[in-house]
Amino acid sequence: MRCWLLLLMGWIALPVAAAQLTLELDGTPRVFDDASLLRRAEVRRIDIPDDVAYRRDMHYRALPLRALLAGVGPADHLQLVATDGFVAELPAALLWNTAGSTAWLAIEDRRAPWPRLPGKATSAGPFYLVWTQPQAAGIGTERWPYQLATIRRLPGVAERYPALLPAAELAPDSAIRRGFAVFQATCMACHTLNGAGAAEVGPDLNLPYGPTEYLRADLLRAYIRQPQSLRHWPRARMPGFDARSLPDADLDALLDYLRHMTTRKAALQP
């Protein structure tokens, strides 16, 4: 019995494995662990009112994301990959905005873990991209990836995924082009379209059929605003997008883009 107690005590005393964040910015991956990041001089205690993931006020130890991005400039593009398949596409220009929004890498301290996320068995850690004053630069909810594992510098979305592009003859100020921008900021973190994209959370939004082909316009709007209002499913992962996170004009443009892309499935044929 005493041996079993000693073994049990030893198991309980095992240290929690270090959490790691990988940066792929210049072809050579760099790996940072949580403890070393928390020791950096740039770390600050920040307050996040109405946190996107926790839906309440939160406090974090965090460092400005730009402090980790040596060599990255406003013209670059970043891809932030979470362990659950969520993939945020982030124009680096947002990190250099002059409106007052600041991106922070919040770091979970293993000695003082964060609470569980609402309805989930895990926290938002070990790494979570949060923003102070997000409204100043129009930072949407899908640019707050939690359980962050990898940050990559890559070419922009249009260059990597030509199957997402609307017709070239559209005017630069076309609502469909605006909808493409909304898709990148709001939908692409969870969905592919025409098989293009890196997200692994939700279904493809055009293959074999797009939602504008099988849902009435009013029902599709209701679903985007509040998915549970259309079909109740306790395990559903899609969040609702209210008018603050997705204004009506942006929703209109997004639906224009999705309808337009149903005519461009043929563009995928060899």
- Domain layout of the chain by residue ranges: 18-154, 158-268
Residues in the chain: 270
Are the beta carbons of 46 and 62 closer than 8 angstroms?
Answer: yes
> What pTM was computed for the model?
0.85
Which is the CATH superfamily of the domain at 158-268? Answer: Cupredoxins -  blue copper proteins (2.60.40.420)
- Look up tokens 């959490």; give the residue: 19
- Look up tokens 């760099």; give the residue: 30
Q: Distance (Å, rounded) from C-alpha 246 to C-alpha 85?
A: 22
The token pair that represents 254 in the structure block: 């997004």
What single DSSP character describes residue 146?
B
The token pair that represents 75 in the structure block: 């013209």
The token pair that represents 123 in the structure block: 């926290």
pLDDT digits (tens, 9 = 90+) for 120-156: 899 999 999 999 999 999 998 899 999 999 999 999 9
CATH fold, domain 18-154, is: Sulfite Oxidase; Chain A, domain 2 (3.90.420)
pLDDT digits (tens, 9 = 90+) for 64-107: 999 999 999 999 999 999 998 899 999 999 999 999 999 999 99
Would you say residue 13 has pLDDT above 80?
no
Are the beta carbons of 198 and 87 closer than 8 angstroms?
Answer: yes
Strand partners, 127: 107
Q: Which residue pairs, CB below 8 angstroms and at least 24 apart, start in 90-93?
A: 90/143, 91/156, 92/153
Strand partners, 104: 64, 130
Give the number of other Cβ atoms within 10 Å of residue 197's Cβ.
24
Q: Distance (Å, rounded) from C-alpha 93 to C-alpha 106?
A: 20
Q: Distance (Å, rounded) from C-alpha 3 to C-alpha 31?
A: 39
pLDDT digits (tens, 9 = 90+) for 186-204: 999 889 999 999 888 889 9
